[in-house]
Amino acid sequence: MNWIKPLINSQEIQAADDSLTLGETMSKEILLAFDLGASSGRAITGEIDVEHKKIKLQEIHRFPNSPIRVNNHLYWSILALWSEIKRSLVKAFNQYGNKVVSVGVDTWGVDYGLIGSNGELIAIPRSYRDPSNLKAMKTLLSKISREKIYMRTGIQFTPINTLYQIYSRLLETPELFTIAKTFLMIPDIFNYWLSGIKAAEFTEASTTQFLDPRKRNWSYEILEELGLPTNIFPEVIEPGTLLGKISKGIVDELGISPEISVIAPATHDTAAAVAAAPINENSAYISSGTWSLVGVELNEPIINKQSLENNFTNEGGAFNTITFLRNIQGMWFIQEIKRVLELRGEKYTYEELTKMAAEAEGNIAYIDPDNPRFLAPKNMITEISKYLEETGQRKPSSIGELVRLVLESLALKYRFVLERVSDLTGRRIKEIAIFGGGSKNWLHNQLVSDFTDKPVIAGPSEATATGNLLIQAVGLGYIRSLRELREYVRNSFNLRRYEPNHSSIHDDAYNKFLELTEETE
């Protein structure tokens, strides 16, 4: 049943009940979500109204996040992120006091750290964009076949996966694994620092490409074959697990309440966002941010030769679901174009870039968003220009044409992936839900609708934080099912609908795109 209503013309999240403001109902409890993305982090509170099944969000702190290049490697400033988490805790406690009852962390996937026997981090976590991963992937796949890895893990092949990251470190510095006591993914590290508990939350662990989604545990056979010590991998826990109260050390340091519960939500940001997505059995979804995650929600993984050939992934979702999807580089292109322009002294807001793209000529050229050359180029604009030159296509003559070229290419790639989804699942997709930060880009949403010839439902833009908060509510016992969780979403946010303006122009563009991607594979 489609419960997406009411649909209104609004690009931003809006409270369903505008008369309710924070502070008016002091009895409502406050949950705190730390939503850390690959380009920024946010601390967002959720005021939960159990009686009316609503949640109201407020951003209390925002901070930048980006990898730092040191020589030939890219690292995360994990201690800077930890400092921002602690600053956010103080802000939340100063604003709400003892009404803050729980905290939960979600982050991007695939990246990890190692904890020593003294409980300390023993190496700075690297970014998934680190250039060493591609070489490690090629070496590893010469030892273990793609089919063997996929049939045990159901995860798509991409050099960003933890499997190749950890193998790269093993080849470079094997001594790290002789002193490592515990392997933790990035959100698990923060949960450990918050609660003192070392555990691997299922949805994040599923992004590693060495977890079996059917057994919901590590694929020890693969780890042993690579020579990795299997005793460093902790217990896998379910999203919504109550880890305990916040640690005494943090309470003493920050002067906050000792009664705050630490809950592992769906710690992978995609899983959190999909949990809060306005989807049903007829929907596909696009979790739109730095990456675009394109797929459908399933009850069981699909792991067979066809899904392997099409490079689909079976990542963990909340409430025993599987997020069956393909990863596509998404708003990363626009973020990098904006960054390069700023280095040139040309500063534009995202809204200005979108407006220029809307006014620019369309269908002048296309790129394949999955081409590895776009993973971490030093200059995205130059890299796109080189790609167009090598493929014999017209180069954009303005910033607007460049941005539109990227947005159209993304829409075409989504169409390609969604056609594969229908083939693999047997589902007839009737509409597409776009959520996350990218859902605020109205031109992107409209182009997706036009090129796929399907209605698009856009929002909520803070789907990840919403999912984080509502799965915390699961851990607290307020929510008992995925259907009930999405009822909170339905009651709390208004969404926007885009109808397709599809024509033969879009089909001709798709055929050109298919020819291009075949030539460059």
Q: Can you point out the beta strands (E) in 99-147?
A: 100-107, 112-116
For the chain, the residue count is 521
Nearest one of 286, 407, 304 to 356, comparing CA atoms: 407
> Is residue 280 within 8 Å of residue 2, measured between CB atoms?
yes
Phi and psi angles of residue 33, each rounded to the nearest 5 degrees, phi first: -110, 135
Q: 49, 111, 130, 269: which one is catalytic?
A: 269
Query: Is residue 269 among the annotated active site residues?
Result: yes
Name 73's Cβ contacts closer than 8 Å, sequence gap at least 6. Answer: 126, 130, 131, 132
Based on the number of CB atoms within 10 Å of its own CB, is 35 exposed (0-12), middle (13-18) or buried (19 or more)? Answer: buried
Cα torsion angle, 156, 159, 161, 166, sign: positive
DSSP 38: S
Q: Which residues contact 79 (CB under 8 A, 6 or more apart)?
A: none
Q: Is 402 left (phi over 0), alpha (psi -120 to 50) or beta?
A: alpha
Query: Exposed, middle or buried: residue 26 (CB in 10 Å: 0-12, 13-18, 19+)?
Result: exposed
**Which of 457, 460, 459 lies closest to 446 in space, CA to CA?**
457
Residue type at position 353: L
Contacts of 394 (CB under 8 A, 6+ apart): 364, 365, 388
Retrieve residue 304's tokens: 């067979």
In whole angstroms, what is the distance from residue 256 CA to residue 356 CA? 47
Tell the burial category of 149 from Cβ atoms under 10 Å away from its Cβ (0-12, 13-18, 19+). Answer: buried
Beta strands, E only, 50-170: 54-64, 68-70, 73-75, 100-107, 112-116
* Alpha helix ranges (H) inside 5-131: 78-96
The tokens for 412 are 């075409």
DSSP letter, residue 323: E
- Does residue 293 contact residue 299 with C-beta atoms inside 8 Å? no
Residues involved in catalysis: 269
